[in-house]
Structure 1
Amino acid sequence: MADSSDRIVRGKDVMSTNIIFIDGMATAREAAAAMREKRVHSLLVTKRHADDAWGIVSVQDIINGVLIPGKRAEEVNVYEIMTKPIMSVPADMDIRYIARLLHRVGMRRAPVEENGQLIGMVTLSALVLDNDLFLK
């Protein structure tokens, strides 16, 4: 019989449920303000219609798309600097596979999906820091 240390940790076990959405037409300044206010490092960009894909904009996108090129944050729209489409991970996926997948595709975070709905966000840092795998 397996003990509790053999329990599989899934994406839904380590995800943050604090998902903040933003419209692609919002400005980079508005995105940065929302991130600061909500204390998050990324925002999901809403779909324009049912067949559209989700997008994501992160602090790194604002740095690379606004700060480094010296653009004005109020003149850059989120859709210009976001990543789209994004990859989501199933809520029941083992975190070992999530970590491997994110690492291989060069992503730091991914939305967690269950029954066609986005229910959270998982990050590489959460996989390491927010669970007790390394505390035993």
Structure 2
Amino acid sequence: MNTPVLVKDVMWREVDIIDSKSTVQSALNDMQHKKTKMLIVDKAHDHDEYGVVLIADIAAKVIAEGRSLERVNAYEIMSKPAISVHPNMDIRYCARFLTRLNLSRCPVLDNGKIVGVVSLTNIVLNGLRIV
């Protein structure tokens, strides 16, 4: 039997976490600087959940509505709780999970802590190299 390729084998380990009170302008600057399409919004306290802000959220909830990038905070447009996967999940199940939910990427959580981000691009390009 072949050893499965796991999420932890293909995920990005550099995670972009912002504060929920960050402005959308600040979040967008981070996205441009780090060349990412998703930022993770940090928990406010231990019993809170992580959120995510996607480029699509900024387009739909800020730009399309004519709101100011400087006056909208990340918490106003984020999706929370963030849908996440475990680092030991087989990439085949992760790919099914993401496509079923119409997502291209999500955070990877281990024991309630963010350890990475996985995307369909990571799975397709890196998963093939490892197999």
TM-score after normalising by structure 1: 0.88
**Structure 2 Cα separation of the partners of residues 78 and 95 of structure 1:** 30
> Is residue 2:52 matched to residue 1:32?
no
Deviations 1:25-65 (A, max 9, x none): 11110000011111211111011111111100011111111
Runs (4+) off by over 6 Å: none
Identity of aligned residues (%): 40
Matching residue within 124, 127, 131 for 1:131: 127
**Structure 1 Cα separation of the partners of residues 126 and 59 of structure 2:** 26
> Is residue 2:116 matched to residue 1:120?
yes
Alignment RMSD, CA only? 1.7
User: 5 Å matches for 1:21-60?
Assistant: 21-60=17-56
Matching residue within 6, 14, 20 for 1:18: 14
Unmatched 5+ stretches in structure 2: none
Aligned to 1:61: 57
Deviates more, 1:44-53 or 1:121-130: 121-130
> Is residue 2:84 matched to residue 1:74?
no
Structure exhibiting the larger radius of gyration computed from Cα positions: 1
Aligned to 2:107: 111
**Structure 2 Cα separation of the partners of residues 55 and 80 of structure 1:** 11
